[in-house]
Each structure stands twice: as C-alpha cells, then as structure tokens.
Amino acid sequence: MKPDFDKIIDRRHTNSLKHDSCDVVFGREDVLPLWVADMDFPVPEAVIGAMKKRLEHPVFGYFTHSEAFYQSIVDWMRRRHAWEIDKDWICFTPGVVSGLAMSVQAFSRPGDKIIVQPPVYHPFYYVVERQGRVLLYNKLIRGEDQYFMDFPDLEEKLKSGAKMLLLCNPHNPVGRSWTKEELQKLGELCLKYHCLVVSDEIHADLIMKGYVHTPMASLSPSIAGNTITFMAPSKTFNLAGMASSEAIISNPVLRKAFFDISNGALHINMGNTFGDVALEAAYTHGEAWLDALLEYLNKSSDYLTNFISKKLPALRLYRHEATYLIWVDFSALGVGHKALQNKLVHEGGLGFSEGSIFGPGGEHHMRINIACPRSVLETAMERLQACRF
Ligand SMILES: Cc1ncc(COP(=O)(O)O)c(C=O)c1O
C-alpha cells in the first residue's frame, strides 16, 4: 500500500521535541512547527512490523549487532549509493552528532584547529568548541541561487595546520548536494595538507530530482583512507528517536582509534534493541517507501518554490538540491533577525528555524522544514503571506 503522506498525525503529548517544546523554543505553544529536522510522517509499515515482532519476546538483555544488521547497511550503500563497503568498516554510533564528537575526541587534541563551513548545522560548532578545539570558518560563498565552497580560503586554512574538516554532505541548511568535482577537490586538498575529513552524510538519501549523492569516501581509495563517514536511517525514515546510526571507516588505523573511543573509553557502541531492529528493517524493506517520500517531498518543494516566487518575491530562494529543509533569505525585508523571528512567531504563528543559529552567514535567513502533510505547508505559506512585513 502506498504511504499516505497527506494524513495529519497529532504528535502532541508524545514528548515530541518538534511539537511539545514550542512554548520553550518559540514562547508559544500553538505555532506551526516547521523547525527541527524530523518528519510528521509515520515510518514504513515494515519497521513497525519488525518492532512488534521483537516485542513478542519478553527479554531485553544485552545484545550484539547481528550479521543481518551489518549486511542491511552494506546492501543499502550498494543499492542506493553505488558504494561498495565492507561489513568490517561499520561502527555503530548512538546518533551522528555523538559520532562527530567522538571523532573530534579520537583524532584531535585540545587546541587543534578544526574547519567547518558556515552557515552549517549548529552542533558542528558545539562538538568542536565544547571539547576545547579551535574552530576555523571556511565560509560558503553565496552565488545567484546556490552556495559554493571557497577553495582558496580552504587552502589557507589547511596551510595553517588544521587537523580536521567537518563536512556536511549534503549540506544542512543550505541544501546543496555537493558534486563529485567539488568533493574531489576538497578531498585532494585535505590529503595534501594531512587534514582528516569527517563527512556527515545523514541527509544522503534525501536527494531531490536531478541531483545525486556522492559519498565522499567513494571517490578514491586514498580519499577513503582519509575520511570518516556518518550515515543513518534517522532522517531518511524518520527514526531519530531510535538513536542508531553508523560510522563507516575503511582505514583500519582510523577505525581502531574511533572504536577505542566508542567502545573502549565511552562504552557506547551497543545502542538499543529497537534501534537495531528498526535500522535493519528500514534498510532492508524501506526502499519503495523512500521513493514515495521523495516524490512527495519534490512536490512540496515545487509548491513552496512557486508560492514564494509568485506571492512573496522579496524573499530569496536557493536551489533545493537535498534534505527536506528549505533555506530562505529574508534580508531584502530589512528586518533584524530577532524582529523577524518575533513577527513570524507572534504574527504568523510560524515556528521556523532562525538562520543565525547556523552561524556566520545565517542571519536574516529561515530554515523551513517541509516534511509535513502538504495541507500544513499550505497553511504555513498562507500565514507567511499574511504577515505584514
Ligand atoms: C547534518 C546533520 N547531522 C546530524 C544530525 C542529527 O543527527 P543525530 O540525531 O543522529 O545525532 C542532523 C539533524 O538535523 C543533521 O542535520
């Protein structure tokens, strides 16, 4: 049966961060929550079925990741990304952000320089700064309707001795699906200056029509040897609450150093029973559901793009290449970002992610999460139009 993404599911009173924390985040309980990156859609039936089946057994003791768990990841990477990986390269992590934090711990020392490419997903800053490392900003360049990497600036930062680069591939919030050429250039520069690439590919499966995802580590054996990749079913299948994701590390030296932290020092490589069950079921049986989701998201993206271009031409949009997050520039309205957020929340009843949280270059932007039923998105756009800027 085709999934029904139009159906509105009331998520309030389920301890949903997106729906039940609006009073804390926006100062109002009743905003339309189009902010944190999860979806208002039910997960694939096969995932629910597998979890119910596991629930029939009444013991939930310690467990190990099964062969089928690892195989489901290997097969997914081959089928969806034409990327051949080995089971031995996979390390479980209880989320991608914790994986990024462990990478910082494993491969740098306090005081080391780590490059990020703002505006970018805000925990990239925290995992570096809160562990006493130094952030270097290789800011993205805004083109007409797309962002680009600033390679001359990147080379300067690499020359200054950066130990690591946190790559967001595809990029949240600017929505770029980086091309092979861009990634190759970045990969080769990092190799030249001995800078490790930590590639967060959590949005890899959410690619809009006309674009493809390239796993950084699929480019060449030498780039793979200098890359740690993070993937997960959490964005793809709306399973963030399962806190289960995977690091893929082909270089055995890097893998051992990572495992020494995740398993040795921190002892957090087990996860939870349902996380494993959900991951395996989603990767094994979720492909048709994902294809239907992508079709729906493409239509929602087209709807929002048409609406804003026709009815709110002062707002600037970028090409939406990947993720279900749309990055919108409000700067032409000449409203400061705090005032803008206030207006959207209190006049529009709209809960978007305010752009300045994503660091330099994010000011005067909003990130709109379109992973909701179309009717909700339509209401949001009507409310946006009704705001008197
Ligand atoms: C780029 C990126 N990385 C990581 C995460 C969160 O990952 P996790 O919940 O697995 O820690 C998000 C969530 O929005 C994200 O956009």
Ligand 1 centre distance from Cα of residue 342 (Å): 26
Atom number, ligand 1, closest to the C-alpha of residue 36: 14
- Cα dihedral 232→237→243→245 (10° resolution): -10
Atom number, ligand 1, closest to the C-alpha of residue 120: 1
Which class would CATH give 58-285?
A: alpha beta
Ligand 1 centre distance from Cα of residue 96 (Å): 6
> What is the pLDDT at residue 1?
76
Structure-token pair, residue 224: 């793979």
Q: Residue 97 to residues 100, 173, 211, 214, 246: CA-CA distances in angstroms?
A: 5, 16, 25, 21, 11
Q: Is 120 helix (H, G, I), strand (E, B) or coil?
A: coil
Distance CA 76, CA 71 (A): 8
Which protein residues are within 6 Å of ligand 1, measured from CB? Answer: 37, 95-97, 121, 168, 172, 200, 202, 232, 234, 240, 245
> What is the pLDDT at residue 2?
85
Low-confidence ranges of the chain (pLDDT < 70): none
Ligand 1, atom 9, lies closest to the CA of: 95
Q: First CA to last CA across the chain, in angstroms?
A: 44
Q: Is 85 helix (H, G, I), strand (E, B) or coil?
A: coil
Ligand 1 centre distance from Cα of residue 325 (Å): 12
The residues that bridge with 196 in the sheet, in sequence order, are 164
Contact 98, 131 (CB under 8 A): no
The residues that bridge with 142 in the sheet, in sequence order, are 147
Ligand 1 centre distance from Cα of residue 389 (Å): 32
The residues that bridge with 352 in the sheet, in sequence order, are 34
Cβ-Cβ contacts under 8 Å for 74 (sequence gap 6 or more): 85, 86, 87, 90
Kindly report, as residue ranges, where domains of CATH 3.90.1150.10 are found in the chain.
17-44+287-386
**172-184: burial string, b at 16+ Cβ within 10 Å, e else:** bbbbbbbeeebbb
pTM for the model: 0.98
Contact 186, 154 (CB under 8 A): yes
Which class would CATH give 17-44+287-386?
A: alpha beta
Ligand 1 centre distance from Cα of residue 58 (Å): 32
Kindly report, as residue ranges, where domains of CATH 3.40.640.10 are found in the chain.
58-285
Atom number, ligand 1, closest to the C-alpha of residue 93: 10
Ligand 1 centre distance from Cα of residue 270 (Å): 19
- By most ligand atoms within 8 Å of CB, the mutation choice from 96, 237, 244 for ligand 1 is 96
Distance CA 189, CA 295 (A): 36
Atom number, ligand 1, closest to the C-alpha of residue 37: 14
φ, ψ at 322 (rounded to 5°): -160, 165
Contact 93, 84 (CB under 8 A): no
Q: Kind of pairing, strands 113-116 and 164-168?
A: parallel
Contact 197, 226 (CB under 8 A): yes
- By most ligand atoms within 8 Å of CB, the mutation choice from 39, 93, 98, 172 for ligand 1 is 172
> What is the pLDDT at residue 388?
80
* Residue spans of beta strands (DSSP E) within 304-364: 316-317, 325-329, 350-354
- Whose structure tokens read 């995992």? 127
Ligand 1 centre distance from Cα of residue 232 (Å): 9
Per-residue pLDDT tens over the stretch 298-329: 999 999 999 999 999 999 999 999 999 999 99
